[in-house]
Structure 1
Amino acid sequence: MQLHTRTWGEGDRVALLIHGIMSDHRTWRRVGPALAGLGYRVIAVDLRGHGASGRGEYSPELYADDVAETLPAGAELAIGHSLGGLTLSLAVDRLKPRRAVFSDPAWSLAAMEGVGPEILAQFKSAPREQIQALNPRWEEADVDVELQTLAVWDEATALSLGPLVGADLMPAAPVVPSLVQLADPSVLISPERAEVLTSRGFEVRSVSGAGHTIHRDDFDGFMTSLEGWI
């Protein structure tokens, strides 16, 4: 499936951005322009079931196929957040970026065992007050974006995650030089799993005090954590 994309900048270097579940390209409203300011042409996708992209069947493998079909291979940089991190890890051998950043990637959904995909799907109707309470460090513009993206999100994408709950989705090794950027604490990557990733050849950095959506919870910390990678 060809995905809807949003581009910032006209630089010679290309950066790819892949959002997490419930979101779309608008989650990168600060990251896209910031990278463009560093000389990148930044391309962000809407995964299937999100934003202005098409609907259909949902699985990480299909997300990865779509991304590989839509985005150019050989980019300087690729960043995937949460479900986007899982998607990037499944497409990285085809996208072949020079560097990959996995921002609090969904390589373990064990945290969902107490929540369940059905509860996650119900978040589609979350009111502003609930979003603000769950994300007290977000700017009002990010709350606005969250409400807008939830309105067009297909909650069936959440229900499709059921078979993956409890599965170990961590890559055996990085395909390209790779940074794993973690929230503090991360509900998806435990300290023990972070050590395993380090032993497998990934660089692992945490952003102190940041929640799961690091780039919205602590934009400055997110960008600082990328030093040497962007």
Structure 2
Amino acid sequence: MQLHTHTWGAGDRVALLIHGIMADHRTWRRVGPALADQGYRVIAVDLRGHGASGRADVYTPQDHADDVAETLPVGAELAIGHSLGGLTLSLAVERLAPRRAVYSDPAWYLATREEGFDPGQFAAFKTTATREQIVALNPRWESVDVDIELETLAAWDESSVQGLAGFVGVDLLPARPLVPSLVQLADPSFLVSQKRAEVLRGRGFEVRTVKGAGHTIHRDDFDGFMASLDGWI
């Protein structure tokens, strides 16, 4: 599927941005311009079922990876994926062949229901979430990010969460980095435990934690997010 994209900047270097579940390209509202200011042409996608991209009958991680590989240019200088976008990037990275990859709190392990992951709760959040709830869950977000969260929830096909059901409790950590790769973690990360972080280091990934940041690091602590990319952008 060809995905909707949004572009910032017109630099010679290309950066790719892939968002997480329930979001779309608007989650990168500060990251895109910041990278453009550093000379990148920044291309952000809306994954299938999100934003302005098409809807589908199936939404597996492999489907998302196939879509971004079909939509985005090969050989970008940089690719960043957050959460589901990090998982998507890892499944498409060989085809996209960026020079560097950044996995921001990637969804490489989805907890079981007993461990706290319930796909149904994600779907229900679309219709039940209030502005007050989003603020309470994300007290460090700027007001405009709360507005965007409400807008992207409204645009999201909540049935897409069912595409993750078959991956609950499955270890999806990559065996090795296919390109130089940074794993950027929230503090704490509920998707990549410290034990798994050590496994990733042993496999050749660089791992950095953004102290005190929540899961959506780039909205929770934009300055910390950008600082943690030192040497990678």
Aligned CA distance change for structure 1 residues 98 and 64 (closer, same or farther; 3 Å): same
Query: Where do 1:16-27 residues align within 5 Å?
Result: 16-27=16-27
The amino acid that maps onto 1:149 is T
Letter in 2 for 1:3: L
Alignment of 1:94-173 (within 5 A): 94-110=95-111, 113-125=115-127, 126-173=129-176
1:174-203 Cα shifts (integer Å, max 9, x gaps)? 000000000000000000000000000000
2:202 matches 1:199: yes
Q: What residue ranges of structure 1 are gaps of 5+ in the alignment?
A: none
Report if aligned partners of 2:184, 2:209 keep a CA contact under 8 Å in 1: yes
Runs of 5+ unmatched residues, structure 2? none
Q: Distance in 2 between matches of 1:87 and 1:173?
A: 15
Shift in Å at residue 120 of structure 1? 1.1
C-alpha deviation, 1:159, in angstroms: 1.9
- Asked if 1 retains the 8 angstrom alpha-carbon contact of 2:74 and 2:98, the reply is yes
Distance 2:224 2:68 in 1: 27
What is the match of residue 48 of structure 2?
A: 48
CA–CA distance in structure 2, aligned partners of residues 111 and 34 of structure 1? 36
1:8 touches 1:42 (CA, 8 Å); kept in 2?
yes
Q: 1:111 to 1:37 in 2, by over 3 A?
A: farther
Quote the Cα distance in structure 2 between the aligned partners of 1:120 and 1:226: 29
Question: Equivalent residue for 1:91?
Answer: 92
Q: Hey, what's the Cα distance between the residues in 1 that align with 2:88 and 2:135?
A: 27
Structure 1, residues 76-96: CA drift from partner, whole Å, max 9, x if none? 000000000000000000000
SS in structure 1 of the partner of residue 6 of structure 2: strand
Q: How far apart, CA to CA, are the structure 1 residues paired with 2:162 and 2:92?
A: 22
User: Secondary structure at the residue paired with 1:79?
Assistant: strand
Q: For 1:116 and 1:219, locate their aligned partners in 2 and report how far apart those are by CA, in whole Å.
A: 28
In 2, the alpha carbon distance for the partners of 1:87 and 1:114 equals: 22
Q: Which has the larger displacement, 8-17 or 115-124?
A: 115-124
- Residues 111 and 187 in structure 1, CA contact (< 8 A), matched pair in contact too: no
SS at match of 1:167: coil
Shift of 1:204: 0.1
Among the aligned pairs, what percent are the same residue? 77
Could you tell me how far apart the structure 2 residues matched to 1:221 and 1:85 are? 18
TM superposition outliers: structure 1 runs of 4+ over 3 Å = none
**1:123 Cα deviation from its structure 2 partner:** 1.0
Secondary structure in structure 2 of the residue aligned to 1:211: coil
- The amino acid across from 2:133 in the alignment is Q
Contact preservation (8 Å) 2:13, 2:76: yes
Aligned partners of 2:12 and 2:206: how far apart in 1?
26
1:149-179 superposed Cα distances (whole Å, 9 cap, x missing partner): 0001000111221111100000000000000
1:207 maps to amino acid? V
